[in-house]
Amino acid sequence: MGSIPSSKAAAAADLQRLQSERGMANNNLRASDSVLASSLNEALNILSDQLYTTPTHFILELIQNADDNSHASGVTPTLRLSLYEKNGRRFFRTDCNEVGFTFEQLNALTRVGQSTKKSPAGRRKGYIGEKGIGFKAVFKVADVVRVASGYYEFKFDRRRPIGMILPIVSRFPTADRVADHTQFLLPLKSKEDDNAIHRDLKHIEPQLLLFLRQLRELHVSNKGTDNIYRLEATQSDGDYGGETSTISKSDGNGEVVEVSRYVIHRHTVQSLPKESRREGVSTSEVVVAFAVKDRATPITGTQKVFAFLPVDNYGFQFLIHADFLLVASRESLEYDCAWNTALQSGILTALLQVFDRFIALSEVEHGKGLRYTWLRYLTRRSENPTFWSDLHEKMLEGLANKKILWSRDGNTPLRKPRDLYYVPQSYRFDGGDLFDIPSVKSTHLSFAYDSVKHEALLLGVRELDLLGLYRELATWIDDVGVDGIGKQPPEWHRMVSSLFYNASYLKEKLKRLLIIPLRNGQWVSAQEEHLYLPSRDRNELVPTGVTISIVDYDVSQDPIRRRFFEFLEIKEYSPRQVCSLILEFHMKLLGDTRASRSAEELLADAVYIFKHRSELQEDGAPLMSFLTVKDGEAMRLETQGLTEQVYLIDPTVEPGLIAKYKNAPGNPFTVLSDKYELAVSNELGMEQTKEFREWLLRSSRLNFASQPILVHNGMLTAEWWFLVERNITDLLSVVKSNYSKKAKPPPETLTWSLRALEVPCQDGVTRPLYRLAVPTPELLQKCPHLDFVDLPNPELENWKFLSKFGVITTCNTVARLRELQALGKLPPETIDKDSIKEIYRALNLNLSTEDYNIR
């Protein structure tokens, strides 16, 4: 390193030597060097003015020079920066308690592109300076710089030829001289420069003390405001698992006003690539530092990258230091440099190591500590440059593949981020897991990470979604069974119901879980057959022979849980549900002869269905089994009888043939039991019996009738033949009842069968119906010789419908012609000739209208 001059004479000789080497003699530039000096002077001016983007960068260069020098044993390396005014002039001064310049250091200060800061072979820690040009930044704010170090006292004056590298012997102002200190004094050129320095000193970054080799104190005197920054390092801090440093800030009275603590981690990078600017250096130390408030609380905010001195802010939440190779301005790295790439890899290693250190720390109290909150350091608020983005991505990737996070199960080891789920607050119950079993808890990220959720997700932790929560519910039910479900408080059940309500894509899965409590204490799934919510009025008729499940009444009164059950398509037990159950049971009856149901049950079923017929989707009686009577024997209407005609005894229908013949031997009538009307009357009142009959008759599924059906599917029925044999008059009465008032013509089969039917006449002889006449008073008077059918009450006009079957019902042309035919068969002497004249006179009157019949 060289020796320090021991006298003023030696110091003067050194300065004289430097002047001579730069072409000066007797303080004048040799003529032979004038052209070269002029070019150099111009280059120096450009270098000083354009190398740095900010005029105050020189402050960092002066800090660099101070850190690169030597200090006496027992002395705390200290640098003072002072900005002040005196006698109307503005000054900036630095005072460093180093031992003083050597000639080599002095020579480097007066050169361009040369530095004493070469590391001996094998040295681990490099020096800050590289090119010997940083000092020239002072000339951006000052034309003259005075220097005092040991016995050296000189100045640089940029106004003179090569004045920025030419030391001129000059006494340092006595009033500013501090013994045993190296000092730089800059008379500032402008108020703007003074303001800029004042601003930068107010915001100086004391963190640089963390990464300087020697300086431990930095005193800043900024126009009357004094602050002292002190660095104290602890190599083994038990609270933080290793090295820490604190930087304290004191005011001018020595009172500490602020203390910042940093967790420090160092890593030595081995086998560095060869680099001419780092001759003989194959290893280098990288350092990362993390600001902490206490053992539980990180301090975040973007921090700068350092190469002993600050370089720039690249958005990291921690400080990075390495002996990077920088561009000439020291304001950026050389990014395409293999040396820096190797250091980047070392920084990544250091980061992964220090995070392990955080993870290993003990909790301050339950759920608190840096072992959890260290994740806050992981975010980055910048995307450029790529060099730093790559480092950030590699850091996250490296952490994502390590077991670094604690789960909710304290008995399980650390887990990889991708193996854990973050449980949202809305999925937690009473401060814990909603489904609290080890197999579930071991997959949940510890709640101690709640404040760093975002950072945990960056590492690959997944946020639990509703599908995942459903899977946990299913696992939990398998593990604890229905007993475990029953032990949960109502608030737990409400929360589960609320979370899964309206999750349509999970409905079918949820319906398979045993989560529905019954009033008998059992737990079933929503797929349970005949499962219902209790009716709100608690009127729950259950048809005998039907098994149903009713949800616990008290539970169903909880609106949240009831809403969830309804979402699972559990319907309220209402008359509609009762009707459905009855009809479902009746379908079994109709299809299975082995199924049984008593007469009383059949009656009760029909009355209930009729009473609640508005709940049905059809107007008439639905498909169900009824109690019937045939030949005096009770029977149940079953599948084979669904097409069978069932008759009602309706007292309002005339003639009442069903009642007349229901007990007659060989009768074809299957009759609805009269117990139905009695049951309806008892339950709903006598006035409802008529509506009950009409309801049955409106059925589209069953064949009910109140009068005998004579034709079915185009064929004469057994009822036709029964009445033909029993009583032709009753048969005609049925035809009259069915067709006398209907516009629709009778079936063709019925028409031709009736026309040909042999019916009794008034003279006791049977003849085909189509050859007969109805014995109306008019016909008996005007055509008395016709063959008259024997009918009850023939004078009533409602027998006129028989004309559809060829029967004469009025005194028309056909009747008169038939009368003439009948008279022609009598002896002449017995014929009333006036009657004949009257017939012809009537025929003549009707000649134009009934010409066809007359011919």
Strand pairing report for 256-269 and 523-524: unpaired
What pLDDT shows up at residue 491? 97
Separation between Cα atoms, residue 411 and residue 397, nearest integer Å: 26
- pLDDT band, very low/low/confident/very high, at 592 (cuts 50, 70, 90): low
List the structure tokens of 657.
Answer: 């043939």
On the CB side of 701, how many CA atoms lie within 13 Å of its CA?
17
Separation between Cα atoms, residue 264 and residue 288, nearest integer Å: 6
Mean per-residue pLDDT, 323-338: 89
Compute CA distances 372 → 369, 398, 402, 473, whole Å: 6, 18, 15, 28
267, pLDDT greater than 70: yes
By the 10 Å C-beta count (0-12 exposed, 13-18 middle, 19+ buried), 496 is classed as buried
**SS3 category, 773:** strand
List the structure tokens of 795.
Answer: 């004078």
62, pLDDT greater than 60: yes
What pLDDT shows up at residue 126? 42
Mean per-residue pLDDT, 373-390: 92
Separation between Cα atoms, residue 577 and residue 551, nearest integer Å: 14
Check: CB of residue 215 under 8 Å from CB of residue 308. Answer: no
Separation between Cα atoms, residue 319 and residue 204, nearest integer Å: 15
Radius of gyration, CA atoms only, the chain: 59
Strand pairing report for 78-86 and 217-222: parallel
Separation between Cα atoms, residue 541 and residue 580, nearest integer Å: 13
Mean per-residue pLDDT, 689-706: 93
Phi then psi for residue 148, to 5 deg, are: -140, 125
141, pLDDT greater than 60: yes
Tens digits of residue pLDDT in 788-846: 999 887 776 678 888 889 999 999 999 899 989 988 888 888 888 888 888 888 888 87
Check: CB of residue 645 under 8 Å from CB of residue 709. Answer: yes
**SS3 category, 2:** coil
Q: Which residue has the higher pLDDT, 137 or 492?
A: 492
Q: Which residue has the higher pLDDT, 18 or 372?
A: 372
- pLDDT band, very low/low/confident/very high, at 128 (cuts 50, 70, 90): very low
Nearest C-alpha neighbor of 785 from the set 832, 819, 834: 819
Angle between helices 599-611 and 675-684 (to 10 degrees): 50
Cα three-residue angle 386-387-390, rounded to 5 degrees: 75
Separation between Cα atoms, residue 759 and residue 806, nearest integer Å: 13
- pLDDT band, very low/low/confident/very high, at 36 (cuts 50, 70, 90): low
Residues 6+ apart with CB under 8 A from 758: 766, 767, 768, 769
Check: CB of residue 789 under 8 Å from CB of residue 776. Answer: no
Tens digits of residue pLDDT in 704-743: 999 999 999 999 999 999 999 999 989 988 988 888 776 6
Tens digits of residue pLDDT in 182-205: 999 999 999 999 999 999 999 999
List the structure tokens of 480.
Answer: 């604890």
Cα three-residue angle 349-354-358, rounded to 5 degrees: 150
Cα three-residue angle 592-593-594, rounded to 5 degrees: 90
Peptide bond into 385 cis (omega under 30): yes
Note if the pTM is more than 0.85. Answer: no
130, pLDDT greater than 50: no
Peptide bond into 173 cis (omega under 30): no
Q: Which helix (H) or strand (E) holds 853?
A: helix 851-854
On the CB side of 92, how many CA atoms lie within 13 Å of its CA?
27
Tens digits of residue pLDDT in 73-105: 999 999 999 999 999 999 999 999 999 999 998
Q: Which residue has the higher pLDDT, 45 or 596?
A: 596
Supply the DSSP string of 442-501, one letter for each residue.
TTBBPGGGGGGHHHHHHTTPEEP-HHHHHHHHHHHHHHHHHHHHHTS-HHHHHHHHHHHT
47, pLDDT greater than 80: no
Separation between Cα atoms, residue 300 and residue 294, nearest integer Å: 13
List the structure tokens of 801.
Answer: 């419908």
Sign for the pseudo-dihedral over CA of 177, 178, 184, 189: negative
Check: CB of residue 546 under 8 Å from CB of residue 585. Answer: yes
Residues 32, 37, 38, 42: what is their CA dihedral angle, to the nearest 10 degrees? 170
Q: Which helix (H) or strand (E) holds 533?
A: strand 531-533
**SS3 category, 809:** coil
Separation between Cα atoms, residue 789 and residue 10, nearest integer Å: 168
**SS3 category, 424:** coil
Count of residues in the chain? 855
181, pLDDT greater than 60: yes
Check: CB of residue 709 under 8 Å from CB of residue 719. Answer: yes
Check: CB of residue 208 under 8 Å from CB of residue 306. Answer: yes
Separation between Cα atoms, residue 689 and residue 650, nearest integer Å: 10
Tokens 């973050």 found at: 422
List the structure tokens of 384.
Answer: 């450029």
Mean pLDDT over all residues of the chain?
Answer: 88
Tens digits of residue pLDDT in 597-643: 888 889 999 999 999 999 898 999 999 889 999 887 877 765 444 67
In one-letter notation, the amino acid at residue 684 is L
450, pLDDT greater than 70: yes
In one-letter notation, the amino acid at residue 319 is L
DSSP 8-state secondary structure symbol assigned to residue 177: -
What b-and-e string marks burial along 218-239, b requiring 16 or more CB atoms within 10 Å of the CB?
A: bbbbbeeeebbbbbeeeeebee
Check: CB of residue 319 under 8 Å from CB of residue 301. Answer: no
Phi then psi for residue 844, to 5 deg, are: -65, -40
- Percent of the chain beyond pLDDT 70? 90
- pLDDT band, very low/low/confident/very high, at 539 (cuts 50, 70, 90): low
343, pLDDT greater than 70: yes
Check: CB of residue 792 under 8 Å from CB of residue 775. Answer: no
Q: How many CB atoms lie within 10 A of CB 776?
A: 23
What pLDDT shows up at residue 206? 94
DSSP 8-state secondary structure symbol assigned to residue 828: G
Of 32-46, 293-307, 378-392, 657-671, least confident by mean pLDDT is 32-46
Supply the DSSP string of 75-119, one letter for each residue.
---EEEEEEEEETTEEEEEEEE-S----HHHHHHHT-SS--S-PP
Mean per-residue pLDDT, 236-242: 95
What domains, with CATH codes, occur in the chain? 8-203 (3.30.565), 229-400 (no CATH), 418-513+551-567 (no CATH), 578-707 (no CATH), 728-854 (no CATH)
Separation between Cα atoms, residue 389 and residue 348, nearest integer Å: 12
Supply the DSSP string of 573-612, one letter for each residue.
--HHHHHHHHHHHHHHHHH-TT----HHHHHHHHHHHHHT
Compute CA distances 334 → 95, 339, 340, whole Å: 32, 9, 7
Phi then psi for residue 464, to 5 deg, are: -65, 130
